[in-house]
């Protein structure tokens, strides 16, 4: 089964935050649809994180993430290894996927399986490709997240099995000679 994803970026209407920022590069601009505005972490050791809170009573079963970055001025994409995390209490975070971005300009897209709807989505950034003397500082221009539309895998398996048993029970059978022990 091929998973399908929503077409609307769900990182909207909520609140972005980050572990820290440099002046003029707030966390919110990662979800402002502006491709020239970016968040730059504080100058401290990795890992760094960027988080989006959808708001009270809101949650999506995220399964696709798109990230926009640029190499210009940093001698390498300013992020590399990232753990995508979800939470519903802003305290306990579940790792949804560990991704490694390629060292290229532009949008990169990642999909992952996930059975749970989450209010909080966090990007836990553990490394960057920066080669300009600040490899410890990720920068991110845009992030977009989309929900999985396909049924959860476990439920789908259950349905398939139930249908197979139903068919076995009710499909009329042709009785063959070998079923009665004849061989010829």
- Residues in contact with Ca ion by CB under 5 A are 29, 32, 34, 37, 141-142
CB 147 within 8 A of CB 5: yes
d(CA 25, CA 11): 18
* Residue number with CB closer to Ca ion (142 or 147): 142
Closest-CB residue for Ca ion?
A: 37
For residue 46, the SS3 value is coil
- Give min distance, CB of 33 to Ca ion, in A: 7
Q: Residue 160: CB partners within 8 Å, gap ≥ 6? A: none
* Residue number with CB closer to Ca ion (95 or 105): 105
- Give min distance, CB of 68 to Ca ion, in A: 7
- Give min distance, CB of 141 to Ca ion, in A: 5
d(CA 163, CA 7): 31
* Residue number with CB closer to Ca ion (40 or 64): 40
* Residue number with CB closer to Ca ion (29 or 137): 29
CB 62 within 8 A of CB 148: yes
- Give min distance, CB of 16 to Ca ion, in A: 10
Both tokens of 29, joined, read 């601009």
């Amino acid at each position: 089964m091929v998973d399908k994803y929503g077409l609307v970026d769900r990182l909207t209407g909520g609140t972005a935050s980050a572990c820290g920022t440099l002046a003029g590069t707030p966390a919110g601009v990662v979800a402002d649809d502006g491709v020239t505005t970016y968040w730059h972490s504080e100058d401290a050791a990795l890992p760094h994180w960027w988080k989006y809170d959808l708001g009270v009573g809101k949650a999506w079963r995220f399964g696709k993430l798109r990230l926009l970055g640029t190499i210009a001025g940093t001698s390498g994409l300013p992020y590399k290894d990232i753990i995508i995390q979800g939470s519903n209490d802003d305290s306990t975070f579940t790792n949804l996927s560990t991704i490694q971005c390629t060292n290229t300009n532009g949008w990169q897209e990642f999909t992952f399986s996930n059975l749970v709807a989450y209010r909080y989505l966090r990007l836990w950034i553990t490394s960057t490709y920066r080669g300009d003397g600040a490899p410890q500082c990720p920068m991110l221009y845009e992030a977009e997240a989309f929900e999985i539309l396909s049924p959860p895998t476990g439920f789908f398996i259950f349905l398939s099995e139930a249908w197979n048993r139903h068919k076995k029970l009710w499909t009329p059978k042709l009785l063959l000679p070998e079923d009665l022990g004849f061989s010829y």
